[in-house]
Structure formats: structure tokens, C-alpha cells
Amino acid sequence: MPDSPVTVAVTGAAGQIGYALLFRIASGQALGPNTKVRLQLLELEAALPALEGVRMELDDCAFPLLDSVLCTSDTDEAFRHANWALLVGAVPRREGMERKDLLGINGGIFTGQGESIAREAADDCRVLVVGNPCNTNALIGSTAAARLDMPRARWFAMTMLDEKRGRSQIAAKASVPVSEVRDLAIWGNHSSTQFPDAWHATVGGSPAPEVIGDEEWLRGEFIANVQQRGAAIIEARGQSSAASAANAVIDTVRNVAQPTGEIFSAAVPAPAQGGYDVPEGLVFGYPLRAAERGSVGIVEGIVHGEFARSKLAVTTAELLEERGAVKELLA
């Protein structure tokens, strides 16, 4: 018996990640082969003609699971009854723009979208923020939504792409298939200060550091490669990661909507307890596990060594600095 349709709102739907993402959602890769999908796509007014072209292509795929497609520049309409809100749209950093300016511009967008989601979306709506700076955008959005009583715990920011980049690096180094690399968590900010924790990852069921046998590589090249991978893609491709980012969105949604019990990475608002001493509310990358539909918890009991603790301090400081730069939006 097919499940009832799930409404998925996607912002920035005419952008490059949107183009790599929508077809995979519509084909059932995020929510499963028995779940019909209603897509509600939000774009800036100027991008609506391009979005119409994307809708035509969705039609032309004749996906059996695609129930309907709505294209709009009206935020409330896009989020109405949404079970998932994938916030991909954001203003990119342009030359001469300070990081603070970018935080401020995007902050305005995420305040409005957070309020709209709290008002309009379904009671079970989960939100995944992809648009950068995604942790702080999620902090802003979840704060605005919490003012209207939406639980912050339903907000996520995406670090799954970083996890996949790291798993792929470890698999190549250990000469094993990537499926053998598990439990690699990304801690902290989705930025160059993130901490990919190879010390609690496993390769073929054994601790990754034992299999790799090269602590210097893990502490140096490995972390730097994961942190700088986005920049390397831009340099090679002339554009930022899109297909791999869309793939990570699919996997994040799948991990929450169709839990496997495996550990996966995403950033969530740090809870008062059980958040590894991260200041409460900061949207911080953690290892997560989804127990049942919709219920996601931070993996407990991980003990970090001194090296990890120093890395966590750096990424926490960066997130606090970002929070300071948008404090008016959080008041």
C-alpha cells in the first residue's frame, strides 16, 4: 500500500544544486519507492522563467512518484503544508563582499523563511539548510521559527557532503571500497574549520587510525583535503560542487526519513545537555543516528583526545564569531 504523498519545498530550485536535486527527489531516491512527492519550488521572481524550464523537464521525465509541481516566488505558498523544507537558495559571496555582509544579507532571507515555515509548514516539517553559511543560516532560521513555537530540533544544516568527501579520502588511502568506511563524523562548522573525526571512524569494522597506520596523514593532509575540497572543486570546475551537494541532500533526507540505524553527519542546534559542551543553540556538526521516523539523536559517549579537542575549540570559536556577527537577528 503506497504511503501518503510527502510535500517537499525546495528553495533556490532553479540553481545548479536544484537542477541536480529535483529529479532525484522526484524519482524516489530521497523518500523511497512507495512515496509520492509533491514538489513546491521557490525562486526569486527573476528566476521563475528558468524554473519553468525545469518544471517542463520534470514533466518530461513522467516520474510515476511525482504527484505535482508548484513553482512560485511566494515564500508562504512554497512552504504551505511542507513535510520537508530544503533551503538551498542563498546569495553567493561576490568579490569585495565581507563575510559579515554575506551573513547579514542571508540572515534576512533565513529570518523570513524560518517564520514562514513555522506558520505554514506541516507540524512534522523537517528543515535542511544547504545555502551557505549553512550553520549560521540554520541558527537564524531556527531562532525565527522557535519564536513561533517550532521546535529547533527539527532544523538541520548540511555536513553530509563533507562526510562523503572524508570517507572517499580514507577509502582511497586504505585501498578499500568506500562502503567499508563508516562512522566518519563531521564536527562543527561546514567551513574550513570543520573537524572530520577519523579517530572514531571505522574501516571494515576496525578503527580507521589502525587501518591507515599514518597518524601524520590523518592529522595533516586528510583534514586539509576535506576542509579544502570545496575550493578545489571550484578551481577545477569553475563552479562550486552541485551534483555531489545534491547527492548529499538526498542522503541526509534518506537517513532521517528512512532510518538505517547507521551514524551520519549533519549539524543541529546544540542541546542544553548531550551536546558535548557546545554553547546551547549553536548549530553544530555532530554524528547523528535516526532511531525511528523523524526522531534523530546525537550519538553519545564519544571521548575526544587532546588533538580533537583543540580542533573543536577552533570551529566552535568560528561559529560563535558568526553568531556575534548576526546577533541583531537573534535578539
Q: Which residues bind ligand NAX (CB under 6 A)?
A: 11-12, 14-18, 42-44, 47, 88-92, 109, 130-132, 134, 158, 161, 190, 240-242, 245
Residue type present at position 275: G
Nearer to ligand NAX, 174 or 245 (CB): 245
Measured distance CA(180)–CA(171) in Å, rounded: 8
> Closest separation between CB of residue 100 and ligand NAX, Å?
16
Q: Work out whether the CA dihedral 125, 130, 131, 137 comes out positive or negative.
A: positive
Nearer to ligand NAX, 65 or 184 (CB): 184
190 tagged catalytic: yes
The string of DSSP codes covering 82-127 is -SEEEE---PPP-TT--HHHHHHHHHHHHHHHHHHHHHHS-TT-EE
Residue 64: in which H helix or E strand, if any? none
Phi, psi of 40 (to 5 degrees): -125, 110
Residue 149: in which H helix or E strand, if any? none
> Closest separation between CB of residue 319 and ligand NAX, Å?
14
Residue type present at position 106: N
Nearest to 240 by CA among 251, 228, 249, 232: 232
CA angle 88, 194, 199 (to 5 degrees): 125
Measured distance CA(78)–CA(116) in Å, rounded: 9
> Closest separation between CB of residue 216 and ligand NAX, Å?
27
Pick the catalytic residue from 81, 190, 200, 304.
Answer: 190
Nearer to ligand NAX, 8 or 17 (CB): 17
> Closest separation between CB of residue 29 and ligand NAX, Å?
18
Nearest to 123 by CA among 93, 167, 102, 154: 154
Nearer to ligand NAX, 91 or 314 (CB): 91
Nearer to ligand NAX, 18 or 202 (CB): 18
Cell of 85: 523544507
Nearer to ligand NAX, 65 or 160 (CB): 160
> Closest separation between CB of residue 205 and ligand NAX, Å?
28
Measured distance CA(191)–CA(223) in Å, rounded: 12
> Closest separation between CB of residue 187 and ligand NAX, Å?
15
Query: Residue with C-alpha cell 578551481?
Result: 235
Measured distance CA(81)–CA(291) in Å, rounded: 24
Residues marked active site are found at: 190
